[in-house]
Copies of this chain bind each other. A is one copy, B any other.
C-alpha cells in the first residue's frame, strides 16, 4: 500500500509553473466533465483536481464556471472532422458506430454528448443557439449541399442526436440480428438524407 500512497502522492512534485499548460489542463479536464455530467452536475473542484490544479486557478484563467463552460464548448467544436467524412461510406460507418457501445468512440462521443448535455440543460441552452447554428448545423449543411440543404441538415442533425441519446441510455452494444437490422435502418436514414431529392419536386 505504501507504494500506492507513494504513487498517489503527486503533490510531492508541486507542479511546474506554466500558465499555458495549466490553462490547457483545466480546459481539457473541463471538456470531459461537462460532457459526462453536464453543466449543472459538473463540479469545479473535481475538474480542478482532475487537472491537478487548485480551484482558484479556474477563476484566474477563465473567470468563472460559466465562462469555462463556454470556452470548453467552443474548444470541443473545432469543426473539423466532418469535412473529411467519406461520402461513400459515411452512412454505413456512422450507423455501425451508433450500434456499438458509447465507449468505443470516446473522442467523438464526448464531443457530441457535450453538445447534447448543453442543449438539454436549461442553464446552458440559451448559450447554444448561435453555437449550434455555426458549428454544428452549418457544417452539416455545407457538407450535405444540394437543394434544401438547410432542412435536410436539420433532419440530419436531429437524427444524429437522437441516435446518440438512444445509445447513451442503451449503454451497451447491440448484437446479432438486432444489430444488423439497426445498422441497416439507420444507415438507410442517413443515406436518404444525403440524396438531394426523394420527395416531391
Q: Which residues of A does B touch, CB under 8 Å?
A: 36-38, 40-41, 116-117, 119-123, 125, 128-129, 132, 148, 150-152, 154-155, 157-171, 174, 177-179, 181-182, 184-186, 188-189, 192-193, 198-200
Contact = CB atoms under 8 A, between A and B. Distances in A.
Nearest to A163: B158
Contact of A38 (B121, B159, B189): B121
A37 B151 contact: no
A90 to B, nearest CB: 17
Contacts of A148: 177-178, 181
Given A152-B181, A184-B199, A184-B200, 9 more contacts: A38-B122, A120-B168, A129-B171, A151-B182, A154-B182, A155-B182, A155-B185, A161-B166, A188-B192
A110 to B, nearest CB: 14
Contacts of A117: 120
Contact of A162 (B151, B160, B170, B199): B160
A176 to B, nearest CB: 10
A198 B198 CA distance: 15
Contact of A158 (B166, B178, B181): B166
Contacts of A162: 158-165
Nearest to A185: B155
A167 B152 CA distance: 14
Enumerate the 3 nearest inter-chain pairs by beta-carbon distance, A residue then B residue, closest first: A162-B162, A158-B166, A151-B181
Contacts of A151: 174, 177-179, 181-182, 185
A171 B161 CA distance: 16
A167 B120 CA distance: 11
Nearest to A136: B169
Contacts of A159: 158-159, 162-163, 189
A161 B165 contact: yes
A189 B184 CA distance: 13
A93 to B, nearest CB: 17
